[in-house]
Structure 1
């Protein structure tokens, strides 16, 4: 996965956004030449996998015009085909709030349909969506988002949906999933998102271990509602991925999901200024800025000032890998759910517990343990029912 921040600019001011309000008002864009430099160096270093997902994210990508992405896509595909060896199979992913979608954007999506996937961020019906997904004037964005989704459906453009779960969502699972089931014909799949910033998310999106039972009930309700939806075939990614890990972990040659999920260079992120991070999608240089003593957080460097080879040959990446390794080894020895965990909680361990090798976090309990138990119990109950 290569995550590119075309621009940090966003036309919405969602209260739970990872980007600061200041950064979301910045209108600078990633130069096309920077995209070419980064992709060329990735290819020259032999880092391209057989399949590569290039994700436009972190800011509202549709704040930039379609011709920006026409040029970027054309350049990437040309560089991918150039030189020795088989080119990678590249997919371009766009994650949008859908409020800016018009006929020109639909034409763009059609134009690149052979190698493009589209995701829409929508938190469900208006009463769940509008309190937190607001514009810069504080007004809800639901009507504009639904208008964009309807236009995609009208033009036959399939997309997936991602929805953030709030305290109100937990209390209204039926209304929540019904909104997406009504659009199952145009949705490729659906993912509900339990945010990571549980400690400072406020009453709507904050949670603690004391809320475990609430989330267990929500997961059970969602499983039951998705299963009982007559005639609907809407994959819920949270459940399909969890079930996939359960099956894989109990089979021969079980993968180490934790280490695979955060393997260095499996994901490479470049923000609009050229800062490069890895391990997680969307890390920014301001997060844990002083962790490695250079004021740049988990940034490996800037692609306009250093080559990627220089970044990968430095000692900072080695120190980061060592810290993540401490987390992995501790979890492997101490957690009964390790074989089923998708990983991605290393920095949460540091922030919440003060150490990489510190074990369980609130995220682990809510995101992994409670969800895994709910899926395993649901499947077991289904298997016990008479045919």
Structure 2
């Protein structure tokens, strides 16, 4: 992912882990130069074997670079793209600065936009405020309205934290019925040293279970929730497609505005600096010993408690950044979200088995809604087993 303005943002969200990354570059103007942009674009496209290449723009707030920067980015993508290659762009924004010009640009160039919104006004505004401490919900909703009116393809990213974790259905129904989105992500806020705003592991699991129980009864096939899709992929034996649940990681590197490349967006710290694309070609950095070791460590550092766990095939220990608690046996390296992940994945097992079997018979998974119309998820266990089986 590319961070053309680094950690610079026009909001001051209380839980944001990235704002203090400004301290890595004292005196910087926090603007990606054309030299860095072109170097990365060329190297990234040349290193890809796929016919579809995705550039992910994040921040900070990436729209603070201005439209002209992205016009140039698209020009460079076209310049270096190989024949038959399709280049896509995603951009994650807080939505407060969107206007007609931005939306027209997004439509013209096929950008997929992610909007950050944490639910209804009172839940969203608890932590998502601007630099003056003022609430932002009204402005975000205005941005969403612009995207809809212009026909911009978009989805939403919702963080789960202390203010909204006890209101799962309020959040889900707001996103589904008022934001009118069909694509959702629920990202847990985990703060190791200042946990007052964090979701708890148990709270995150209960949040997901409540939403799943509504989704599986009425919204399968019409609403797509990232973690549910990832889980189904694991149950049918496919790769999850989400780094936190992969067996190894290290493919989601973060490019800062200076050309510095870091191992991961959650590890933008000096010890995880892989190199700089102005000095070393991207494939050398990505395939180097340091980055390979970083990725493999996700697998090799799992405690025995995780290795023996019945949901390891779908969880794989979760994101390493959250592995800072201890197992019941006293071994370090357990994910703080384990007490939520484990009951959640066990809870959805019967439904996942049903949908897996439906897919094997070339039937739509949405058929589960008819099956559950007068029953419970647990009742599916009688037909599809009551204990977890891996997809191996």
Same fold (TM over 0.5): yes
- State the secondary structure of the residue aligned to 2:261: strand
More divergent stretch after superposition (232-241 vs 95-104): 232-241
Number of residues paired by the alignment?
A: 352
Pick closer, same or farther for the CA change 1:118–1:73 going to 2, 3 Å. same
Given candidates 328, 339, 354, the residue that maps to 1:365 is: 339
Q: Is the 8 A contact 1:331 1:359 kept in 2?
A: no
* Counterpart among 238, 256, 262 of residue 271 in structure 1: 256
1:245 is matched with which residue?
234
Q: How does 1:241-320 map to 2 (within 5 A)?
A: 241-248=230-237, 260=246, 262-264=248-250, 266-278=251-263, 280=264, 282-286=265-269, 296-308=270-282, 311=285, 315-317=289-291, 319-320=293-294
Asked whether 1:122 is paired with 2:122, we answer: no
Mapping of residues 162-173 of structure 1, within 5 Å: 162-173=157-168
Query: Conserved in 2, the CA contact under 8 Å of 1:275 and 1:302?
Result: yes
* Paired residues of 2:165 and 2:199 also in contact (CA < 8 A): no
CA distance in 1, matches of 2:30, 2:86: 30
Alignment of 1:125-204 (within 5 A): 125-183=120-178, 185=180, 187-197=181-191, 199-204=192-197
Distance 1:74-1:361 versus aligned 2 partners, 3 A rule: same
Are the aligned partners of 1:162 and 1:192 in contact in 2 as well (CA < 8 Å)?
yes
Q: Report SS of the residue matched to 2:79.
A: helix
Q: Return the offset for 1:50.
A: 3.5
Q: Structure 1 residues 95, 125: CA separation in 2 closer, same or farther (over 3 Å shift)?
A: same
Q: Which of 68, 90, 95 is residue 93 of structure 1 equivalent to?
A: 90
**How far is the alpha carbon of 1:27 from its aligned partner?**
4.7
- Matches of 1:135 and 1:254, distance apart in 2: 35
Instruction: Could you tell me which runs of 5 or more consecutive residues in structure 2 were left unpaired when the two chains were aligned.
Output: 355-375, 383-392
Q: Is the 8 A contact 2:260 2:276 kept in 1?
A: yes
Look up the match of 2:79: 78
User: Which residue number corresponds to residue 14 of structure 1?
Assistant: 13
Deviation at 1:306, TM superposition (A): 3.2
Q: CA deviation at 1:138?
A: 0.7
> Retained in 1: the 8 A contact 2:144–2:179?
no
Give SS of 1:69's match. Answer: helix
Q: Does the aligned pair in 1 maintain the 2:160–2:199 contact within 8 Å?
A: no
1:141, 1:207 → 2: CA distance? 25
The TM-score with structure 2 as length reference comes to: 0.77
Q: What is the DSSP-based 3-state SS (H/G/I as helix, E as strand, rest coil) of the residue aligned with 1:297?
A: helix
Contact preservation (8 Å) 2:164, 2:171: yes
Cross-structure match for 1:112: 109
**C-alpha distance in structure 2 between counterparts of 1:259 and 1:234, whole Å:** 21
Asked if structure 2 preserves the Cα contact closer than 8 Å seen for 1:16 and 1:132, the reply is: yes
Q: Deviations over 1:72-122 (max 9, x none)?
A: 1110222122xxxx5543220000111001011111111112xx2111000
- The CA distance in 1 between the partners of 2:272 and 2:63, in whole Å, is 27
Indicate yes or no: 2:224 matched with 1:224: no
Between stretches 116-125 and 17-26, larger displacement belongs to 17-26
Say whether the 8 Å CA contact 2:243–2:249 is kept in structure 1.
Answer: no
Between the aligned partners of 1:134 and 1:97, the Cα distance in structure 2 is 11
Q: CA deviation at 1:344?
A: 4.7
Provide the rounded CA distance (Å) in 2 between the counterparts of 1:256 and 1:215: 18
1:259 deviates by: 8.6
CA 317–378 in structure 1, closer or farther in 2 if over 3 Å, else same:
closer
Q: Secondary structure at the match of 2:54?
A: strand
Displacement of 1:269 after TM fit?
2.2
Q: How far 1:258 moved relative to its partner?
A: 7.3
Tell me the C-alpha RMSD between the 2 structures.
3.5
- Segments of structure 1 that go 5 or more residues without pairing to the other structure are 287-295
2: CA distance between counterparts of 1:43 and 1:230? 37
Tell me how far 1:239 sits from its aligned partner. 1.6
CA contact (8 A) 2:259 2:278 kept: yes
CA distance in structure 1 between the partners assigned to 2:197 and 2:216 by the alignment: 27
Q: Is 2:189–2:197's contact at 8 Å kept on the other side of the alignment?
A: no
- For 2:2 and 2:144, locate their aligned partners in 1 and report how far apart those are by CA, in whole Å: 23
- 1:292 matched to which residue of 2? none
Task: State the alpha-carbon separation in 2 of the partners of residues 201 and 103 from structure 1.
Answer: 39
Q: Tell whether the 8 Å contact from 1:92 to 1:117 is kept in structure 2 after alignment.
A: yes
**Alignment partners' CA distance in 2, 1:258 and 1:130:** 27
